[in-house]
Amino acid sequence: MCLDARLDVLIVGGGPIGLVCGLAAQKAGLSYVIIEKGSLVNSLYHYPANMTFFSTSERLEIGGIPFVSNNARPTRSEALEYYRRVAESQKLNVCLYEEVIDIQGAYPVFSITTSKSAYTSRYIILATGFFDIPVLLGIPGEDLPKVTHYYSEPHPYYRQKVVVVGANNSAVDAALETWRKGAEVTMVIREAEIGKRVKYWVRPDIVNRIAEGAIRAYFNAQLVEIRLQEVDIRTPEGMITIPNDFVIAATGYQPNFAFLEKIGVALSPDEKRYPTYNLDTQESNVPGLYLAGVVCGGMDTHVWFIENSRVHADKIIQHITSRK
């Protein structure tokens, strides 16, 4: 547990971008704390156990600290080790398993309530990501225990009839891995083809498995109901029902919009729900409250990544030190 404190900067989120913000604040001589409701780089921890990043290791580096990988593209376990090493070697002030419940006020005094403590801070940086809240299908049966929005590893699906919903990286990885470990896999895909963003060395694999019939795929289709032992799928040829043991709904995730609105961050009225912030400084419509990382993209969760949002930290700290 982190002790009560009066701070220059409180950073919400202990993912890679939250750590970058902590490093920048530390370098600038600002008092700060990083509050993370789960483990260090919690989103990365919840990635599939065998995941390989699309980016090369140098594009995932933070604070100028080298990320050396044994592979052309680093694995999840290598990334977890790297960010632990950064936090430890740089003695970052990170409070883990502590959830921010509420933020009141504006510059120069914010009052922050967490699940463990209370803080006051002159500035707030939100680097909360989007991985914790899945985009729901909104269909009957989605709340059954056999349905998951978080795929981790293939072993539990051995000899099981698995439906995978989605056509991008998470869905494709789940389909290929579970099939290779003995599952009977059916993909349900809204679009007419496998997603264009699928890793280029993986896309031919899934396309070929579908073409040869090893993995069944319904394109331009929707899962419409889930029951204990079967599911209904709407296809261009009509409604079908197939036996089913598990559903992996790789439908994506979204930022915590309710929390953003609760603390006063304005969101666009369209379906993208872009948060309001200054592109030059990252400051939101709430004075002294800044946004960093993927949370800036609203529902466009494929706009900001570790490699292109690291610059947010420098912009924020430069703006803060210019006002101090």
Distance in angstroms (rounded) separating the CA atoms of residues 35 and 19: 10
Backbone angles phi, psi at 17, to 5 degrees: -75, -35
Write down the pLDDT at residue 1. Answer: 43
Token representation of residue 306: 């570790």
CA distance 33 to 211: 52
User: Which one, of 258, 291, 13, lies nearest residue 128 by Cα?
Assistant: 13
45 vs 42, 53, 85, CA distance in Å? 5, 13, 15
Q: Per-domain residue ranges for the chain?
A: 5-133+253-323, 136-249
pLDDT of residue 301: 76
Name the pTM for this structure: 0.86
Does residue 108 have a cis bond before it (omega within 30 degrees)? yes
pLDDT at 303: 81
Can you point out the beta strands (E) in the chain? 5-12, 32-35, 94-95, 100-106, 109-114, 118-126, 133-134, 147-148, 161-165, 184-188, 216-218, 222-226, 230-235, 238-243, 246-249, 253-254, 289-291
HSE of 27 in the Cβ direction (CA atoms, 13 Å)?
13
pLDDT at residue number 49: 83
Q: Give mean pLDDT in consecutive 10-residue pieces for the chain, a chain of 324 residues.
A: 74 96 97 96 87 87 91 91 96 97 95 96 93 88 96 96 96 97 98 92 96 98 98 98 98 90 95 94 97 92 82 96 84
What is the second-level CATH architecture of the domain 136-249?
Answer: 3-Layer(bba) Sandwich (3.50)
Q: What is the 3-state secondary structure (H, E, C) of 247-313?
A: EEECCCEECCHHHHHHCCCCECCCCCCCECECCCCCEECCCCEEECHHHHHCCCCCCCCHHHHCHHH
Q: Regarding the domain with residue range 5-133+253-323, which homologous superfamily does it belong to in the CATH classification?
A: FAD/NAD(P)-binding domain (3.50.50.60)
Measured between alpha carbons, how far is 217 from 294 in angstroms, rounded to an integer?
Answer: 31
Q: How far apart are the first and last CA of the chain?
A: 28
Contacts 24+ apart (CB under 8 A), 280-286: 280/315, 281/315, 281/316, 281/319, 282/312, 282/315, 282/316, 282/319, 283/316, 283/319, 284/126, 286/106
Domains 5-133+253-323 and 136-249 share a fold: yes
Angle at 198 between CA 193 and CA 203, to 5 degrees: 70
Q: pLDDT at position 324, please?
A: 62
| C-alpha span between 284 and 221 (Å, rounded) | 39
